[in-house]
Amino acid sequence: MYISTVEIQLSYADTDMMGVIYHGNYVKWIELGRTKLIEDVGYNYLDMEQAGYYAPVYNLEITYKKSIKYGDRVFVKTWVEENKNLRTIYGFTIVNQEDEVCAEGTTTHIVVRKEDFKPVQFKKIFPEWFQKYEEIKKQ
């Protein structure tokens, strides 16, 4: 299993009234992690769009375990949890500088045609990309 890691740069504007990082920011970080994983294995999401397809989020599950505060170092670790014809599930953990899990979960994505948002089989449209995910996914 391949795990991609990206460090997140925090800003004071990311905090909420309680002085911790606002939970909504985590969703943006998850996407940064997914994008980094795609790039790490040799692909580019823009190439998918230019070919006439999108990979929208179908489902998001996140469990918050520990607050992140301004000044912490934050890392998103992302991997392919499942890879099916019609959906890919990415797993993630968000950890701090002590490698403590602050949040974890999954995002499920489907591939759709740009013109009508009809789902298509990832394996048929991008066979090499699909195969790469098969090689690196969680066993």
In the set 16, 72, 99, 116, the catalytic residue is 16
In angstroms, the CA 68 to CA 42 distance is 31
Closest CA to 91 of 79, 82, 75: 79
In angstroms, the CA 53 to CA 55 distance is 7
Q: Is 116 a catalytic residue?
A: no
Q: Which residues are catalytic?
A: 16
